[in-house]
């Protein structure tokens, strides 16, 4: 039935700041931009290899009491230590002092996006 995850939407307060963060630090490229009838502005970002897209939404005012929250968004990388160093050197708020290695051998660390969203970098 389900073939893949098409996109993940993240509410942001400043669309341009968030586009710069995800593009400059994480390697996403803007695929499309539009303004909705409600006035909300959105941008779809994609990675060079394709796959699930990231939708950034600014100015959306339809949050309802029953709406769920995403816990975190994880990005797969080949070099976890290199990604950690790059984000640390860029002044990104890191939630871990160093990448963690799980019993499975998978490495990961967490950090904050420009609106405080919980993001994670992980190896396979």
Query: What is this structure's pTM?
Result: 0.85
What does the domain layout of the chain look like in residue ranges? Answer: 1-59, 71-124
The rounded distance, in Å, linking the Cα atoms of 96 and 109 is: 6
**pLDDT tens-digit readout, 45-84:** 999 998 999 999 999 877 666 666 677 899 999 999 999 9
Beta-ladder partners of 46: 29
Looking at 2-11, 30-39, 48-57, 94-103, which range is the least confident one?
Answer: 2-11
Residues 6+ apart with CB under 8 A from 19: 30, 43, 45, 56
Check if CATH label 3.40.50.300 holds for domain 71-124: no
What is the mean predicted confidence (pLDDT) over 89-103? 96
The CATH class given to the 1-59 domain equals alpha beta
């Amino acid at each position: 039935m389900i073939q893949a995850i098409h996109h993940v939407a993240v509410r942001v307060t400043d669309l341009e700041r968030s586009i710069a963060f995800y593009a400059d630090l994480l390697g996403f490229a803007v695929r499309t931009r539009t303004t909705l009838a409600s006035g909300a502005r959105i941008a779809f970002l994609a990675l060079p290899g394709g796959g699930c897209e990231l939708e950034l939404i600014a100015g959306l005012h339809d949050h309802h009491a029953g709406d769920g929250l995403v816990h975190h968004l994880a990005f797969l990388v080949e070099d976890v230590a290199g990604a950690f160093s790059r984000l640390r050197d860029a002044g990104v708020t890191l939630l871990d002092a160093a990448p963690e290695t799980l019993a499975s051998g998978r490495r990961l660390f967490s950090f904050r996006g420009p609106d405080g969203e919980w993001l994670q970098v992980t190896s396979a």
